[in-house]
Amino acid sequence: MNSSAEPLLDVRNLSKNFAAVQALKDFSMVVRPGEVVAPAGDNGAGKTTLIKAISGVYKPSSGEIRLRGEPVSFATPQEARDKGIETIYRDSALADNLSIGANIFLGREPMRKAFGFLPVLDRKKMADAAKSTMALLDFHVNRMEAPVSNFSGGQRRAVAIGRAVYWDAQILIMDEPTAALGVPEQRKVISLIHQLKARGRGVIFISHNLQDIFAVSDRIVVLRRGVQAGERKISETTHDEVVKLMVGG
């Protein structure tokens, strides 16, 4: 990570109200290429509101979001996705009965012409994309064409990450990506995040687990009742300090 690189994402003075509740107040943070940033805070601190405001689910009440220096505003999550911001939720929406390839192309199926005129699904393109994307992530399954329902939780999360990578997401927002996984699979997801870093992607990593945050993040940005309560490089802070920032006082 180069701390002088131009930010991929620059969130400035973002606020979001729900009627009388101010869930986010004047919140600012940046994400640079190859950087993992962890917004952290207690329940109700505003983490989900923040990522929904960035990913086009909520319209911010005020403030600014810049992508590579350019102000953006998303009416829908699809608009954010089209600009390279992909969100991976805990139960990422995979179609259970379809293969990895079909899931990568879900809603954007590639077509080819059979006999020179008949439009049919380009299964080879889907299979090739599945293979190359999963290889890129150093992720190996025996039966690439099997329905993803056959895969474990960690493998399914890898498919969701693979889909984002295939469509060239520049910023991946991950909400509790290690939740409800066994320890080996948590490690696997964390190693996928290291690979995204190495490929210059920006990652916003949300987790309840400080150990995971410390294992994977470059920077932690603490939220307390919607306000930015402090920012630390992971290499320059401790669990204790972060917990103090989270609870305040």
Neighbouring C-beta atoms of residue 237, cutoff 10 Å: 17
Q: Which does 202 bind (CB under 5 to 8 A by kind): Mg ion, ligand ADP, none?
A: none
Nearest to 9 by CA among 99, 58, 74: 74
**Which tokens in the block code for residue 37?**
């940033």
- Spatial distance between the Cα atoms of 172 and 8, rounded to a whole number of angstroms: 11
Helix (H, G, I), strand (E, B) or coil at 20: coil
Among 38-46, 75-83, 137-145, 194-202, which window interacts with ligand ADP (CB under 6 A)? 38-46
**Which tokens in the block code for residue 30?**
């940046």
For ligand ADP, the binding residues in 58-97 under the rule CB under 6 A are none
For Mg ion, the binding residues in 15-54 under the rule CB under 5 A are 47-48
For Mg ion, the binding residues in 48-107 under the rule CB under 5 A are 48
Nearer to ligand ADP, 215 or 222 (CB): 222
Residue 106 engages ligand ADP in binding (rule: CB under 6 A): no
> Shortest gap between Cβ of 44 and Mg ion (angstroms)?
8
Contacts of 111 (CB under 8 A, 6+ apart): 119, 120, 121, 122
User: Site for ligand ADP (CB under 6 A): which residue of 44, 77, 147, 200?
Assistant: 44
Answer whether 213's CB lies under 8 Å from 40's CB: yes
Q: Max CA-CA distance within the chain? A: 72
Residue 56 engages ligand ADP in binding (rule: CB under 6 A): no
Q: Is the dihedral of CA 48, 51, 55, 58 positive or negative?
A: positive
Nearer to Mg ion, 9 or 45 (CB): 45
Among 18-26, 141-149, 157-165, 166-174, which window interacts with ligand ADP (CB under 6 A)? 18-26
Binding site for Mg ion (CB under 5 A): 47-48
- Residues near ligand ADP (CB under 6 A): 18, 21, 23, 41, 43-49
